[in-house]
Amino acid sequence: MKTTTTETHQDIRDAVRALCAEFPDAYHRGIDAARGYPEAFVVALTKAGWLAAMIPTDYGGSGLGLAEASVVMEEINRCGGNAGACHGQMYNMGTLLRHGSDAQKQLFLPRIASGEWRLQSMGVTEPSTGTDTTKIKTTAVKSASGDRYVVNGQKVWISRVQHSDWMILLARTTALAEVRKKSEGMSIFMVDLRLAERSGMTVRPIPNMVNHETNELFFENLEIPAENLIGQEGQGFKYILDGLNAERTLIAAECIGDGRWFIDRVTKYANERVVFGRPIGQNQGVQFPIAEGHIEVEAADLMRWEACRLFDAREPCGAQANMAKYLAAKASWEAANACIQFHGGFGFANEYDV
């Protein structure tokens, strides 16, 4: 295993950091207080080309790999931002880039790169099928004329629908009982969300504890043009993994960014907070948990780079992407716990942004 940090990555970090500096903590604090969406921030990222990092240059993107995209996501969170508001555009690219037709790429990618369209949503999860994706019940039945599919079913925990123009949808085109392997018989479609909301898709927002827009979706005879099918019918599960493995790796990178933000913030506070005549950071009871959080973040980062390397080399990376996400989430949690514990009561105060 080796890391893939390069001079290019440092250039990306510097540029993303400079952009994020235009949106200080107070900006994100205000967005959260209003339970809003960081529209200006996402627009700035789009105009700078960062959300088109993985789109080939022929289609108006930067032509970079998952490794570089992960640096962008990490740096946003390390600067105190929330890449979760826009990361879907990055990982949803995997399915379209690798399995879309030339016509589909020509239609979608330039418009996504320019910001004319957003592809922020992926419709996979269902109420009765979380990680057991092969058991999805949403169906897409081809019409007798063959020019469209009719979708019925339900999805849940589908994020950013209100801030996206298109969604990648996974549905069963062949019943589970009729396929040779349970991973067969599912297909991927591009769904025009604004049109769908007027013709068969109902969106029900899910109130939640944090400022994160997520929804239930209900489909009742929603018609999707046949040309919106990505790749071959029945091979959608295989295709969606390219998006899911990119998602897992990018979320790992975001957790790494969060972890480093927490470690930086708590280290600074521990050196400044004076109790009983000395900084609390001089106490080993404070030092050790911070050090442990730092160790876990840096160790998790190694698996993140391995997942990126394999993905960009088009090698199998499912295990590595899952391990990276698990380790990075755990490390970020440990770093966050140290940060909030050693801020004491101030860790709950909005002005400290913990």
CATH of the domain at 281: 1.20.140.10
Kindly give the interhelix angle for 318-342 and 284-312, rounded to the nearest 10 degrees: 160
Q: Rounded CA gap, 101 and 229, in Å?
A: 9
What is the dihedral sign for C-alpha 272, 31, 43, 64?
positive
Q: Are residues 87 and 40 in the same domain?
A: yes
pLDDT, position 133: 92
CB atoms within 10 A of CB 255: 29
Q: Are residues 85 and 171 in the same domain?
A: no
Q: Are residues 198 and 254 in the same domain?
A: no
CB atoms within 10 A of CB 178: 9
Domain housing 274: 239-352
The CA-atom distances, in angstroms, between 334 and each of 24, 255, 341 are 25, 11, 11
Residues 6+ apart with CB under 8 A from 121: 88, 92, 158, 159, 160, 161, 164, 166, 167, 168, 193
Q: Are residues 102 and 128 in the same domain?
A: no
pLDDT, position 6: 75
pLDDT, position 236: 95
Q: Are residues 259 and 325 in the same domain?
A: yes
pLDDT, position 350: 85
pLDDT, position 284: 94
Total of domains in the chain: 3
pLDDT, position 52: 93
Domain boundary among 190, 206, 236: 236
Q: Are residues 105 and 201 in the same domain?
A: no
Residues 115/61, Cβ–Cβ less than 8 Å: no
Mean pLDDT by 10 residues, the chain (354 residues): 72 96 94 93 95 93 95 96 90 88 96 94 91 93 96 96 96 95 96 96 94 94 98 94 91 97 96 93 94 97 97 94 97 96 90 82
In-domain check, residue 94: yes
Specify the pTM.
0.92
Residues 130/219, Cβ–Cβ less than 8 Å: no
In-domain check, residue 200: yes
